[in-house]
A and B are shown apart, each in its own frame.
Chain A
């Protein structure tokens, strides 16, 4: 199918978006048919089935719960609006991921989030550059602390690297699926993911070490 852009939804060929572990026994397919016919409760069932995917991805991409809720709301409203464009037989989750990524990107642009911190900030603090293994240090931190470090690391990534690494490492999608969702090549995704992982490693090691000194 020829790519058509509308409302942030891009149609891409099945080969890239379609390869997933989901089989034909997908309950979403039935709800989708009913929702397309105008059944609002069927649409709500679709939301219940996929709200975790949409809300948690939005939260990882935006880093703020309220923003993530706004984004998730917008994602589902766009989904509702463009429901008829979804072709039966295709994989639904990648399509929804794509809407999510686009909505979060738009939201971020609109709000001109300038809270994006760079990884360079840490270097300027004059902390010891000597590497510290996360393995040695992370045992001393609670799960909640470690999660907040990871979230901070994500916020410091450039938006495209963040999207790639969130989909690949946190949502657990394949490089191929991520490329389909982001509308880029697998080579690009691999490069973005590699860069993001290296930056996050550096950040987390320094963060763990700095906190330990306090």
Chain B
């Protein structure tokens, strides 16, 4: 075996990576070759330098930075996969302003908006709004098999019982809602609803002219996470006949 081939083996021999037979071949050659003997010494020196790299310590800040970034992602992923009622208090506490604002809007708009429109029966805008948002037209309402008679209730809005139904959609539905697929929500609620803008509020036409069912009030609260949209549906159906 020539020195070139032996030196390839020496690269393994120096770290104990050869089997017994090949190690013996190398050792036999080394006994009679001074060049390969010094090659072995040099290799041991360079290997010592290479292996010394293992003792190099890394900046602790690097570890912290990586861990912090990973844990941020992990908690984001956990929030996205956890129903809201199982979220840890810390997460909910972090959202408390959003929750407070959302709840205030639901309650405030749920009571104030219908009251305002009933007090100003001539206001035309809400009607257009409702048509634009996919609510049934008057003709459709007239043909509807189950028209809701709300004339009495309309005259006494303060007596109406607002059935407040807070609907929290399953995660996949929320994701779909965020991607702009109103059918998914429609399927879930069986009500004609439309995507709103951030905190978009859709309301009903004035109900004093024709008795017609009131589409639900849809309030969507966008969070920092694009995958999480909190949807409230305020059901305005009357309780009386």
Verify if A95 is at the interface (C-beta below 8 Å from B).
Answer: no
Verify if B240 is at the interface (C-beta below 8 Å from A).
Answer: no
How far, in Å, is A63 (CB) from chain B's closest CB? 12
A65 to B56, CA, bound (A): 13
CB <8 Å contact, B67 and A65: no
Verify if B109 is at the interface (C-beta below 8 Å from A).
Answer: no
How far, in Å, is B189 (CB) from chain A's closest CB? 31
**A69-B65, A146-B52 are known contacts. Are A133 and B42 too (CB-CB below 8 A)?**
yes
- State the interface size on chain B (CB cutoff 8 A): 37
Verify if B191 is at the interface (C-beta below 8 Å from A).
Answer: no
CB <8 Å contact, A147 and B53: yes
Residue of chain B at shortest CB distance from A151: B53
A60 to chain B: which residues have CB within 8 Å? 53
B38-79 contact mask (Cβ, 8 Å, vs A): 1 or 0 = 100111011101111110101100110111011101110110
CB <8 Å contact, B49 and A150: yes
A65 to B63, CA, bound (A): 11
CB <8 Å contact, A147 and B52: yes
CB <8 Å contact, A193 and B12: yes
Other-chain contact of B70, A73, A197, A200 (Cβ < 8 Å): A73
Other-chain contact of B47, A80, A169, A171 (Cβ < 8 Å): A169
Interface residues of B in 1-56 (CB under 8 A from A): 7-9, 11-12, 14-15, 17, 38, 41-43, 45-47, 49-54, 56
How far, in Å, is B20 (CB) from chain A's closest CB? 15
CB <8 Å contact, A190 and B17: yes
- State the interface size on chain A (CB cutoff 8 A): 49
B65 to chain A: which residues have CB within 8 Å? 69
CB <8 Å contact, A135 and B45: yes
A193 to chain B: which residues have CB within 8 Å? 11-12, 17
**29 A-B residue contacts at CB 8 Å?**
A40-B74, A48-B67, A51-B66, A55-B58, A69-B62, A69-B66, A73-B69, A73-B70, A80-B74, A131-B42, A135-B41, A135-B45, A150-B50, A150-B52, A168-B15, A169-B50, A171-B54, A172-B51, A172-B54, A193-B17, A194-B17, A197-B43, A197-B47, A198-B7, A198-B11, A198-B43, A201-B46, A204-B46, A204-B50
Using CB atoms and an 8 Å cutoff, list the residues of chain B in contact with chain A: 7-9, 11-12, 14-15, 17, 38, 41-43, 45-47, 49-54, 56, 58-59, 62-63, 65-67, 69-71, 73-75, 77-78
Taking A69-B66, A135-B41, A149-B49 as given, write out 4 further A-B residue pairs in contact, using a Cβ cutoff of 8 Å, ordered by the A residue number: A55-B58, A77-B74, A146-B49, A172-B51
